A = this chain, B = another copy of it.
Amino acid sequence: MRKTSSTNFLNQAYLEEKCALNELIYLLSKRWITEVLFSIEEGNNRFSSLKEDLRYISDNILADRLKLLEQHKLINRNGHTPEVPSRVEYTLTSTGHSLSELLDGMCQFAEKNIHFPDKSS
């Protein structure tokens, strides 16, 4: 739960309102979220399959990221079949695919242009 009165919170809100870019970056900055997106794109569309692919992710984080991606309409969640117990499938939406392409571009940019210093700061 977030405190809606802190300067910390207010600054975040101010920046997100100022430009949608900040909200997109805020989403992407959640750890593992791009990996989850890519992994689903590669065909890992089950919770367990994703967990296996992203070895070091923990349950609650994966669940949270899936929820976030779904809320932003980047993935679809198909489940709720009453017969089979808990069989859920995730797939990318068209927006999800677009984002994935955008990220590919960013990745190329990053590899070409960004010089990464040592992290001794």
Contacts and interface: CB of A to CB of B under 8 A. Distances in A.
A29 interface: yes
A24 interface: yes
A121 B24 CA distance: 17
A72 B111 CA distance: 13
A100 to B, nearest CB: 11
Most chain B Cβ neighbours within 10 Å, of A18, A21, A107, A111: A21
Given A21-B110, A24-B109, A31 B15 contact: yes
B21 A117 contact: no
Copies in the complex: 2
Contacts of A73: 115
A65 to B, nearest CB: 12
A84 to B, nearest CB: 27
A90 B72 CA distance: 37
Given A72-B117, A103-B21, A116-B72, A11 B56 contact: yes
A95 interface: yes
